[in-house]
Each structure stands twice: as C-alpha cells, then as structure tokens.
Structure 1
C-alpha cells in the first residue's frame, strides 16, 4: 500500500489509462472532483464517492468532512472496514505526509486481513481548503491489487478542488 501511494503521488502523469470521467461531489454543491478509470464502478454516496476496481480487488472511498467532523469521518471509515470483516494490524502502521496537486495529504497505511486473506488498508486526509478535508479509505486484497497500481496512481493524482 505504501509503495502504491508513494508511486501515485510521485508520478506526474500516467499514459494510456482510460478515464471514466470526473465525479464531482457532493453533487448539490461540489467540493471535490475525482476521476476514476474505466472499468471501475464508482458512485456518489451521502458524504462523498466510493468505487471498486474490476474483480473487487480494491475498494476506495473519499468523504468530505469539515474541521469539526474529521474525527467522525475517520471513525466512520474504520467502522466501515471492521463491519466488512477487515482486521487491521495496528502494529504495522506507517505514516507519511506529502502533497497531491498542491494540497497537503497525510497517509496512514497498515497490513491486515479480510475474508480473502492478506489485505492492505489505508486512510488519508487531503486538506482541500481551510474548511474542508477529504478522507480517503483504501482496502485492497494483497496480490490481486498489484495489477491496479496504475489505476490507483491515476485516481490519487486526479484529486482536486471543485471549481
């Protein structure tokens, strides 16, 4: 997971990845925009957007939070993971602070397991502006997720503020 996110953040462009188009959310007053590659399945949720890779090897969501609700958004993300049978190995936590498209991002990733075996798990907070933070949740099946490295890099690179 760490290798995936570092590669995604370090790369300036990924050639040859088909884009499914932008998803601006929330749709009634967009705060952020993310582009998911085809043939990922993506949909807007109550607080953001969620997507899965083909074969469901990777689940990724992005939820908009304000400074007052960031703790709740992170708690909701962890609860979602545990409710879906994801067990996080707390001792494996690795943290990195960097930038994506000029916005600060703090990443924490872990190893763990789910019903299919070994899993990579990650949470990230992207500071969109002084009032809004984007909380990213990542969960991927180790081994199966490797073929989507380029897709994940493209998704992370596409994160931007809505116009």
Structure 2
C-alpha cells in the first residue's frame, strides 16, 4: 500500500513540461539554466535567475551527486511559487562532485518553497526519489530514456 502511495506521489510531481531528455550540457550551469527556465515557463518559479542563485547557495554546502551518475541539486527560495521536480537526462556525462567520483548523466532538480510546508513536502519527495534512484535498474532505465514517457516509466515502474 505504501508503494502505491509513493508511486501516486511521484506521478503527481512528474510534470512533462519540466522533464527533458538528450540535454546537451557542458557542465552544471547549462543544466541549471535549462531546468530553471523550464520551471519558470511552467510557473513553478517566478524568476529563473533568483532560483539559480538559490541552487548555487545549496551547492556550496556540499556535493549533490549521489553516485551512479545521478545528481539531486535543489534550490530553496521565495521565488518558488510551488514545489516541483525537474528532471534532465543528459546526452553525455558532465563533471559533478559525487559520493563515488562519477559525473552526472541524470539530474533531478528540486524547486522548494522557503516556507515550512514547502520544506516538509520537499523532504517527502526527496525520500521518494532517493529510494527510486538507489535502484540500479531505475538509473539504467533513466540514462537510456529518450523521451518524457520513458523517464516517467523508469521512475514509476520499478
């Protein structure tokens, strides 16, 4: 039953407008810019530049690469209108500080409101994503995903 609720919660936040595959990026900045712009266009954040500043603040606190070619950066900011999770599957691996010294091929970016409710919801979502992304088969499917439907399937069907 808990697994069903987890899947429903994940399905609710997987918005196709903020998922991209085959993203060509040379580094973190390219990924942050693309995903922040998508979050702004989909009205999750009011200002992409301010949101990117919040991501940088968090990045300075420590590595957001969790290993296995996956990074889970996030920004907590007043510019976030509603919490969201943007996903990028990269065309090529990019450098990213991680626990296992691998770069990133999959980036799951959390947009978090600065209020207490936003933070509480963020922790719940982070936990759900972390459990999914800890499974090698899920990550393998994500890395191979070529469209939004495949990204959603990888995260929802394990």
TM-score band (shorter)?
0.3 to 0.5
Q: Which structure has the higher relative contact order (CA within 8 Å, separation 6+)?
A: 1
Higher helix share: 2
TM score, norm. by length of structure 2: 0.46
Higher strand share: 1
TM score, norm. by length of structure 1: 0.45
